[in-house]
Chain A
Amino acid sequence: MTVLPYGVEQRRGIPMRRLLAHRELAVALILAITVIAVSIINHDFLSLGNFRDILIKVAPSAIVGCGLTFVILTGEIDISVGSLMGFLAVLLGLLTSPDYAHLPVSLSILIVLAAGTFIGFINGLLITFGRVPSIIMTLGMLTALRGATKVLIRVYANDRWIGNLPDTLRFLGTGSILGVPVSVLTALIILILCALAAAYTPLGRRIYAVGSNTHAATLAGLSPNRIKLFAFTLTGFLTAIATMVSVPQLSVIDSDIGVGFELLVVTAVVVGGTSISGGKGTILGTLLGVILLGTVRTVLTFLKLGTDATYWERAIQGGFILLAVLADQLAKRDRSEDE
């Protein structure tokens, strides 16, 4: 299956520059080096169980990463996904828990999916037809949703946390089908669907077109606003899905779920080669970016840094995103010098 014909550029020149242009290859290489190096230091790292753990951990970022890849491809950004996940998690808990609303799980899932989709739609609507810059719009949404989450917890859960989730919901987080965890399976299906959509559907082509040259897209009779609106709505929907398969893994739901999640996903997408200015990138790249960041997190745990691990993880994440954007700019400069 060719998932990466786009954004792959045929460039001559020194290998380093070529590597910069073939981001998927570069990320895969860094990933391989990391895994090999850590395996040599600690033989336990290369176990099937550990591999499975990493996949479970990265599944939610992979799911949301698909939506965010489309958003960034159109030249926009969405930093509200972490807060949205937190909000939806508390909503899901309140709806399903026998201590609170105790609605049927299926109905609760529908409500959470609708809520996520609706918030994504509102983001998109105000950004496109309301002309609010996406960074400002989603920054506002990030703050508003985090506040709303705290209010929900305070009013309904007496400022504590929600435990006691029904087993059917637990299954989404911890169960497996044919030995594959539900969350990993879900992520896989969504990744494949999105990769197919990106490469093989008119919609996918139009997302690239809008990000590549909005003016030309309009002249070609496309509606950039509608395409962007779709990308934001999809991201809201996928965030709801990611909430559903990850939150039930936790023993309790509090108001801090998803803090920093948006940075993790944006970093993964950009590290995976999606250009922050739009028009270039692949779902495969995003998957590799997500796995790389997930592996780094596990590696840090293996290095037994204790609480320092979290700080190191942030530092490395920040370093990655700067490197990725720098590599992008270098590749771009390389190109303009050629012309």
Chain B
Amino acid sequence: MSSDPLVQIRNISKSFGGVHALSGVSFPIQKAEIHALCGENGAGKSTLIKILSGSVTPDTGEILIGGQPLTTGAVRASEQAGIAVIHQESVAFPHLSAFDNIFVGREPKRFGKFFLDRPRMRRETRALLERLGESFDPRKPLADLTVAQRQMVGIARALSQDCRLLIMDEPTASLSSRETQVLFRIIRQLQSDGVSILYVSHRLDEVFELSQNVTIFRDGKHVSTTPTNQLTTETLIKQMVGRDLLEADSSFSDSASGALSTPPLLQVRNLTRLGTFENISLDVHAGEIVGLSGLVGAGRSELARAIFGADAYDGGSILVKGSPLPPHSIHAAIEAGLALVPEDRQHLGLVLPMSVGANLSMTVLHSLTSAGMTSGRKEAPIVRQLMADLQVKAASPKVAANTLSGGNQQKLVLGKWLATKPRILILDEPTRGVDVGAKAEFHRLIRNLAAQGVAVLVISSDLPEILALSHRILVMRQGQLAGELPRERATQESILSLAIPGGAAA
């Protein structure tokens, strides 16, 4: 391609509270090309999308559109430059009709500037939908349309603003294969009309089917931009994973080797929650750490919530020590010795304005309470013990939880559940956003727990972490168990090729 690129992204960096989401990213997007953007969870893809669409301001760097610098951090400026985004979950107005959704914010006006030009809105909507080959009633509220139709409304909105760069974030995540084919046809048609498409997807088969160029991000850095026909699935995955295996089995205990001969502590049988996960069966033995890997959206957290009784499920059963657990009862799960340390510690894990001590004793308050009064004398030693075990760095148990660092807050979440002396511990992304030192401490803690006979199920998107911790690794893909890898055979590549749709068969 001899002509100048449509978009030049130059040296873009962005940090959120000291975490580098993007550092010095540069790459071009050509005119009328489908450009795929790949990377693991947290590689910085969403941050780049937000910067391009103007909802996040980059710390450094510039973006040129057709040679002109883009005013960053302004939704309007991005729109006027011809950038449109189709978000993963169609971000739109469920109560408004399709044509209002298309025009909201830049409505055509008549009779001066006060009235909507409804005839024009109707005319243009009809033309847009026709161009997309859709024939649903645009007066219907969006909530009454199918996911695919809602997406078409999003695309129609993009087209109505003469977009030159259409960004699609996992557009096929909730589409059927027939709807996906329709979408692909439209994407190619847009391309031949001269629109450039930045296609963000985990699905490598789609990347290979559609794109001319692939850009790969890893840990917020640009790895490569390569013509798609020079890549294979293997080379692509290798570039996405990239990093070396750190501290894989230095302090690994083989306490689980004998565990498999005992009956499993937790048995999940054919567990199904419609539309979320399907037919999941797994065992976790006492003393064993089982890793649960997969991409974001594969249904791992949802599975954990269902096991813990936080969500209902549609089929299957959960057995603890061979006896069935009643569905959708957190109370019963806790009684049976289960504990879930959730992913979103800010919202689900801690009451941040309350003290460290109060947070730690929260799960066992009833046992510290007699005649309606909580005994501070019983509470203090438990809190002290937990703080020592977990090496929580806090001035005293009385300081508020939100004064602690992220890593120490994470320890509190874990500690709060350790107070219940769980026999089965489910950890969802236990070290997300935690620095390297705290991470190693966490891993030591988790191994110690397993050595004491706790059955541990760890969900993590961090592949080195899964590899370092787990005795066995289960991989989920699109709500199903794609396969199981014993730790001897598990590598980042083997896990990813199970996790990625279009990768290896189970």
Interface on A for B, CB 8 Å cutoff?
A: 5-7, 9-10, 200-206, 208-209, 211-213, 215-222, 275, 279-280, 335
Of A202, A206, A218, A280, the residue contacting B95 (CB under 8 A) is: A280
Asked if B16 lies at the interface with its beta carbon under 8 angstroms from chain A, I say: no
Q: Is the CB of A201 within 8 A of B93?
A: no
Q: Is the CB of A279 within 8 A of B94?
A: yes
Q: Is the CB of B97 within 8 A of A220?
A: no
- Shortest Cβ gap from A259 to chain B (Å): 34
- Cα(A279)–Cα(B96), bound, Å: 8
Q: Is the CB of B93 within 8 A of A219?
A: no
- The interface bits of chain B over 73-112 (1 if a CB of A lies within 8 angstroms of the residue's CB, else 0) are 0011001000001010001111111001001111101000
- Cα(A221)–Cα(B106), bound, Å: 9
Q: Is the CB of A335 within 8 A of B143?
A: yes
- Shortest Cβ gap from B54 to chain A (Å): 8
Contacts A205-B107, A280-B95: A9 and B53 contacting too (C-beta < 8 A)?
A: no
Q: Identify which of A6, A206, A221 gathers the most chain B CB atoms within 10 Å of its CB.
A: A221
Q: Which residue of B lies closest to A213 (CB)?
A: B93
Interface on B for A, CB 8 Å cutoff?
A: 53, 55, 75-76, 79, 85, 87, 91-97, 100, 103-107, 109, 114-116, 118, 139-141, 143-144
**Chain B residues near A279 (CB, 8 Å)?**
93-96
- Cα(A338)–Cα(B118), bound, Å: 30
Q: Is the CB of A215 within 8 A of B91?
A: yes
- Cα(A218)–Cα(B50), bound, Å: 13
Q: Is the CB of A208 within 8 A of B91?
A: no
Q: Is the CB of A212 within 8 A of B114?
A: no
Q: Is the CB of B105 within 8 A of A222?
A: yes
Of A5, A9, A220, the residue contacting B104 (CB under 8 A) is: A220
- Cα(A333)–Cα(B139), bound, Å: 22
- Shortest Cβ gap from B315 to chain A (Å): 18
Q: Is the CB of B97 within 8 A of A201?
A: no
- Shortest Cβ gap from A338 to chain B (Å): 9
Q: Is the CB of B118 within 8 A of A219?
A: no
**Chain A residues near B104 (CB, 8 Å)?**
205-206, 209, 217, 220, 222
Q: Is the CB of A213 within 8 A of B94?
A: yes
- Cα(A150)–Cα(B94), bound, Å: 45
Q: Which residue of A lies closest to B100 (CB)?
A: A205
Q: Which 5 A-B pairs have the closest CB atoms?
A: A212-B93, A220-B105, A279-B95, A202-B107, A212-B95
- Cα(A9)–Cα(B143), bound, Å: 9
CB<8 Å pairs between A and B, sample of 14? A10-B140, A202-B109, A205-B104, A208-B95, A208-B96, A209-B105, A212-B94, A212-B96, A213-B92, A218-B75, A219-B87, A221-B75, A222-B105, A279-B94
Using A5-B97, A209-B105 as known contacts, list a sample of 20 further A-B pairs with CB atoms less than 8 Å apart, ordered by residue number in A: A6-B96, A6-B141, A9-B144, A200-B116, A201-B116, A202-B107, A205-B104, A205-B116, A206-B104, A208-B95, A211-B95, A213-B91, A219-B85, A219-B91, A221-B75, A221-B76, A221-B105, A279-B93, A279-B95, A280-B95
- Shortest Cβ gap from A138 to chain B (Å): 24
Q: Is the CB of B95 within 8 A of A7?
A: yes
- Cα(A216)–Cα(B157), bound, Å: 13
**Chain B residues near A204 (CB, 8 Å)?**
116
**Chain B residues near A220 (CB, 8 Å)?**
75, 104-105
Q: Is the CB of A205 within 8 A of B96?
A: yes
- Cα(A204)–Cα(B103), bound, Å: 13
- Shortest Cβ gap from B6 to chain A (Å): 22
Q: Identify which of B79, B100, B103, B139 gathers the most chain A CB atoms within 10 Å of its CB.
A: B100
**Chain B residues near A280 (CB, 8 Å)?**
95
**Chain A residues near B144 (CB, 8 Å)?**
9-10
Of B93, B97, B116, B140, the residue contacting A216 (CB under 8 A) is: B93
Q: Is the CB of A201 within 8 A of B95?
A: no
**Chain B residues near A208 (CB, 8 Å)?**
93, 95-96, 100
Q: Which residue of A lies closest to B141 (CB)?
A: A9
Q: Is the CB of A216 within 8 A of B92?
A: yes
**Chain A residues near B114 (CB, 8 Å)?**
201, 203
- Shortest Cβ gap from B156 to chain A (Å): 14
**Chain A residues near B143 (CB, 8 Å)?**
9, 335
- Cα(A206)–Cα(B76), bound, Å: 16
- Shortest Cβ gap from A274 to chain B (Å): 11
**Chain A residues near B141 (CB, 8 Å)?**
6-7, 9
**Chain A residues near B100 (CB, 8 Å)?**
205, 208-209
